[in-house]
């Protein structure tokens, strides 16, 4: 028997999940800010709430729903980013409003357009609640979406957020025509930079090399289906951030995540050179060639040094 699932957010990712799980025999209801209505109505007669909201719109919805949340109702967070105001991941924002209600995270290389077309993918469900992760892994898998599980939600979210920043940088590199060597070097060092943040936030190093880390990075930083990668291409053409976002016409989480990560890095003393140059580019402090030169001219160091 299928689950009764309520989906918050009907953008590309939310509507794709709605389609997948509806075809899988689950009962689906959905809400979006654009379509209006009261999201509190989705909490009634529900087995699972799925949040696929953009980070920008998550805090007000979580604040609205928190006081009305039925005890024990689980949440599956599918948002990828770091909130610029609180410097929290999506599940951190939800946890503030939901208290001890069970929360899990879904992340991985899951480009929405490919899943909508029935192409195969794999993702990971992460939760400190092993029973919940196992239950959702079995209930939500579909013929073209294979699900794994882990017990590292913070690491899973950190990797899923930071890969968007690296995808922006990869788009810049390819847009400048710097070649395969440069892209490979950038992604390798980008993975190491994600690891700095992931472990500093308390994530597990193994998560970095799983679906939410390396897997998602490879998909997002190499595909024109990725908004963040396309944004990087446009920045390399000389467009300002606002012009690039207008051209894409949809949420690009990497721009906010880069700024939030740089705030965290300055507060805690982390070395995040790629994030730093992405922010400098976004804010007009440097242009794309100057940002690349700044990375290439950093002081020599051991590869494993962080």
* Domain locations in the chain as residue ranges: 4-151, 161-296
Mean pLDDT of the chain: 95
Sign for the CA dihedral angle at 145, 150, 154, 156 comes to negative
What are the pLDDT digits (tens) for 102-147? 999 999 999 999 999 999 999 999 999 999 999 999 999 999 999 9
Would you call 80 a catalytic residue per the annotation? no
- Catalytic-labelled residue, pool 95, 163, 227, 230: 163
pLDDT score at 300: 81
Dmax over CA atoms of the chain, in Å, equals: 59
Looking at the predicted structure, is the pLDDT value of residue 195 above 60? Answer: yes
Residue ranges in the chain assigned as alpha helix (H): 12-23, 55-65, 90-98, 112-116, 130-140, 153-175, 179-200, 205-208, 216-220, 227-236, 241-248, 253-268, 273-282, 288-296
pLDDT score at 303: 78
pLDDT score at 111: 94
The CA R_g of the chain, rounded to the nearest whole Å, is 19
Q: What is the mean pLDDT of residues 70-79?
A: 97
Of 83, 195, 91, give the one whose Cα is nearest residue 133.
91
Of 105, 112, 116, 59, give the one whose Cα is nearest residue 79.
105
**Domain 161-296, CATH among 3.40.50.2000, 1.20.1250.20, 3.40.1170.60, 1.10.1040.10:** 1.10.1040.10
Q: What band does 1 get if pLDDT is binned at 50, 70 and 90? A: confident
Range 4-151 has CATH code 3.40.50.720: yes
């Amino acid at each position: 028997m299928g689950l009764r699932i309520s989906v918050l957010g009907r953008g590309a990712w939310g509507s794709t999940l709605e389609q997948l799980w509806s075809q899988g025999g689950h009962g689906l209801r959905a809400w979006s800010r654009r379509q209006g209505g009261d999201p509190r109505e989705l909490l009634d007669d529900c087995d699972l709430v799925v949040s696929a909201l953009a980070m920008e719109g998550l805090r007000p919805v979580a604040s609205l729903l928190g006081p009305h949340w039925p005890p024990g109702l689980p949440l599956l967070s599918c948002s990828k980013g770091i909130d610029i105001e609180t410097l929290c991941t999506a599940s951190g924002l939800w946890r503030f409003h939901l208290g001890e209600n069970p929360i899990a995270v879904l992340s991985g290389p899951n480009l929405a357009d490919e899943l909508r077309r029935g192409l195969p993918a794999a993702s990971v469900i992460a939760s400190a609640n092993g029973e919940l992760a196992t239950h959702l892994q079995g209930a939500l898998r579909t013929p073209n979406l294979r699900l794994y599980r882990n017990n590292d939600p913070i690491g899973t979210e950190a990797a899923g957020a930071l890969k968007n920043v690296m995808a922006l940088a990869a788009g810049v590199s390819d847009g400048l025509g710097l070649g395969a060597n440069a892209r490979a070097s950038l992604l390798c060092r980008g993975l190491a930079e994600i690891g700095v943040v992931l472990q500093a936030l308390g994530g597990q190093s193994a998560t970095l090399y799983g679906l939410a880390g390396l897997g998602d990075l490879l998909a997002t930083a190499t595909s024109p289906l990725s908004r963040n990668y396309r944004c990087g291409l446009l920045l390399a053409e000389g467009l300002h951030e606002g012009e690039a976002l207008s051209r894409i016409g949809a949420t690009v989480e990497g721009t906010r995540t880069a700024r939030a990560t740089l705030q965290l890095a300055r507060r805690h003393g982390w070395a995040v050179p790629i994030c730093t140059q992405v922010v400098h580019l976004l804010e007009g402090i440097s242009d794309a060639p100057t940002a690349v030169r700044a990375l290439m001219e950093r002081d020599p160091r051991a590869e494993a040094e962080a």
